[in-house]
Amino acid sequence: MEILQTSLQIIIALGIFNVWFLRFSKATNYRGGKAANLKEEFATYGLPGCSVWVIGTLKVGCAVALIAGIWFDMLVQPAAGLLAMLMVGAIVAHVKVKDPLPKALPAIAMLLMCLAVVF
């Protein structure tokens, strides 16, 4: 069971790093509305410009905590819990702009993995 949890922590963290560092300025099939990058996606959801940086900092911080949690167990549940809440927000944002379900699948998958780590 410990191997599964550690594996999920790494997968979640790498997914967050991928989105926020490698794909930040790139279009993907999962961007909300017709957004071509993360800033446009947040604007599509009607969020203020600074929210991309606040949410990004929270997500990347949680990803770092999940990696550090491999050695410092006390970091894992709070980080996975906060990421789960942020993923619920992402799913709600997709629903708000009436995105088709496939656009929300990464957020749904991330939510499920975070919940598996928490519980």
What is the rounded CA–CA span in Å between residue 29 and residue 35?
10
pLDDT per position as a tens digit, 23-53: 999 999 999 999 999 999 999 999 999 999 9
Rounded to 5, what percent of the chain is helix, strand, coil? 75, 0, 25
Asked if 31 contacts 41 with a C-beta cutoff of 8 angstroms, the reply is yes
User: 29 CB contacts (<8 Å, ≥6 apart)?
Assistant: 102, 103
User: Looking at beta carbons, which pairs linking 43-48 to residues 24 or more positions away fall under 8 Å?
Assistant: 44/97, 45/93, 45/96, 45/97, 46/96, 47/93
- Mean per-residue pLDDT for 10-20? 98
Global pTM value = 0.95
Domain spans of the chain, in order of start: 2-23+37-118
